[in-house]
Structure 1
Amino acid sequence: MTAVLMDGKAVSGLVKLYVSEEVKQLMSRGVHPKLATVMVGDDPASKIYVSIKHKACEETGIKSENHQLNGDVKEGELLNLIDELNKDGETHGILVQLPLPQSIDSYKVVDRIKPEKDVDGLNPYNMGKLSYKKHTLAPCTPSGIVTLLRYYNVRLAGQHVVIVNRSPLVGKPLMLLTRFDPMQMHLFNADMLFLNEDAVVSICHSKTRDLLYFTRNADILISAVGRRPHFQVTADMVKPGSAVVDVGVSRVDGRIIGDVEFDEVKEKAGYITPNPGGVGPMTVAMLLHNTLLAASNQTGVPLTQTLESFLKKKNVEMEFKP
């Protein structure tokens, strides 16, 4: 039987609808959520990502502003800009587009953002709160994955979640004990979110022995390698009926493709995300959600309902739609 398609575009559209409705409610009480992005240099991919985020803000009524800095900007200048945005009462969310030039310490930059304005969820303080199951602004990609799985009623509690990533820097303990790599952080925080959902989590990487053992026993398989054609998830690697989430991004012959051999894996898995069109749209949607939460938290103006309750209602409406 063909797997259920976990449509990130469709669900992200619902998240955007929720955000836009709540933004209107906040604005009626004098609060206009605002996101500030900071981009250093003119990396083409970063330009695209930033433009997508600002377009999504415009679609949902969130005010947004980009601060463009030259590629040779001094670290101190960047930190001073963040300080200014931290003090600005009308700016509720701050996102520094990664990667940064090697001359700039990414840890210092991420750490400088006030936790309550850290809508990317990368500040060490927010990571710590996440590990203790405290309410915080969660990293956008993992929270997008969890939201997508929940929407399609994929069970999380007690399930074996396997996260595959090529870097040896994986998991919460290694992040804290070895070195800080914010380019990988948004993926590795997934283990904390799934642990908070009472799942059993295994993280695999390039040094993992017998990778097939883990992938074939995964109830939920998340692949975030991005090394096609050197690595791909094929049907023989997947447990029948499992949920397969494709986060990998590779460019092959001018096309953007994921880690998963979609056509063959969909005939074996129970649930599967497309790529593109799966996790990517959810990541952007959760950035909007975090900005909304940040505005509500900082101003003390409550939201009318949670995203989870909104999506549950929409799910029921779709199930019983004639």
Structure 2
Amino acid sequence: MRGQKFYWAVLLALFFMAFFASCRLYNLERKLAPEYAEFLSKVRYIITAEERKIFLELPDSEKDAFIEEFWRRRDPDPETEENEFKIEYFNRIEKANELFLGEGRPGWLTDRGRIYILFGPPTDRITYPMGAPGSGGRGCQEIWYYGNFPVVFLDETCTGQYVLVTLSLEHLHELNLAQSRMQKTFPKEKEFLDFRFGMKKDVVTEERVEGVFLLEIPYETIWFSSEGDELRTVLDVSLELRNAAGQLLWEYKASYPLRLTEEELKAKRKKSHRLEIPFTLTQGLESLRQEKGRLEVRLHNQTGGEKVQKLFDFKI
């Protein structure tokens, strides 16, 4: 009995020590000067618990030296003038702010922003609108793949508020390992492979529907390989249109070689590569009139192997 009392007394003492230490650090953080609070906020994904504690306890006269040392320790190539790690980290924050708008907070503070900063762009990304096969009936989903490792985001109301879903302890462990690696260094990553989609119907009759599907792929998301004086890649595109019952009504597959000089790519960096895919529908039109169908669009860049898949509603 005496041993048990001692055991619980020790646990209680440790709990209160941790609690008061946490409160002390919280109070120190509240008193930070704006420039130091900004630093601590921006490095939240890569600063270690010990570094954070040291920074908060330092007098202001030593905080600038700490910040300089913080980035120096993470510089992958100290012999160069630039700190590649620091540049890439803030580039990812900026890109996350561009990619993940509309959640009521800066994109880099969202769950998708955090994963983007820690892991970089996924090798494959699949989006599921509400009710789509594969969504499990749980609202809208995005699944990012890093190799065979999936990261799932769920938006239960399909309003753009995506939340990270932890599928298993193994996946959580992988996430923690990624954050640990990021606290040291990471290589420069490529952008998301992505595209904007549009559709134009030219002919709509009882017997057929004709039109054009439009894909606009930002050049800044396309990776090229260098061959001589040219930059080259091949974009594989596939489309499948199914009715509500899952019956395949139309499909299309094609590969599009893309060649540019470096100067041409620089001039088009902020523009998009446009693909126009004509379609003619003659079967299953009645089912599409009764209920909207699903158009699945897949894009694959042969350079680097990046893939992206999206689902769209199709109505006549």
Question: Which TM-score bucket, shorter chain as reference?
Answer: under 0.3
| Bigger relative CO (Cα 8 Å, ≥ 6 apart) | 1
Structure showing the higher helix proportion among its residues: 1
What TM-score comes out, normalization by structure 1 length?
0.24
Structure showing the higher strand proportion among its residues: 2
Greater radius of gyration (CA): 2
What TM-score comes out, normalization by structure 2 length?
0.24
